[in-house]
Structure 1
Amino acid sequence: AAVVGAAFAVAGAIMQGVTRNPLADAGVLGINAGAMFVVALSFAFFPHMPYSYLMIVSFIGAVLSTVLIFVIGSATSGGLTPMRLTIAGAVMAAL
């Protein structure tokens, strides 16, 4: 349990360092929402899919939502800033 907790702490520190945003986490940036959305779609379209595939499906959804959030955040003329990244993540989570 301690190793898993340490891994989560390191992942959070890396995310905050890369985005230069002290509030950055997977929930604020909308990554969790993207992963859950893809899992819900997989339940709707593939109801007999084995549960062991859910981890792969949620990972794919998290990666796709992360890419989309970075694209939305950097689409303006000013480039990607921590504030734009947070707002793009909040928009993604709201959808």
Structure 2
Amino acid sequence: MDLRVHASLLTNLGGPGALGVEARGTTGEHRIVSLDAGVLFAGVGDPARFLRYPFDRFALAFRYAFEVPTLPDVRYESDEVPVVGPVGTAAC
């Protein structure tokens, strides 16, 4: 399992950034499972607008895939964010 953590949201305060993970499980040659999930921030932008509508600058990104290489019909993919709220969505 390979894991990559993105934390630029914490190090680039006020500017664009992200907080999330990329996880990949493979057999070496074949991908079995992958997950990309996180929060993207477009930066503060106009401070007055940010204070009125803080969630407008955030978006959720999500992608999940599972497959069994020896069984080509066993495959599942989703890029629908599994939560609902005041934050928009973004492509991974």
Which category describes the TM-score, using the shorter chain as reference length? Answer: under 0.3
Which structure: greater helix fraction?
1
* TM-score after normalising by structure 2: 0.25
* TM-score after normalising by structure 1: 0.25
**Higher RCO, 1 vs 2 (CA within 8 Å, ≥6 residues apart):** 1
Q: Which has the larger radius of gyration?
A: 2
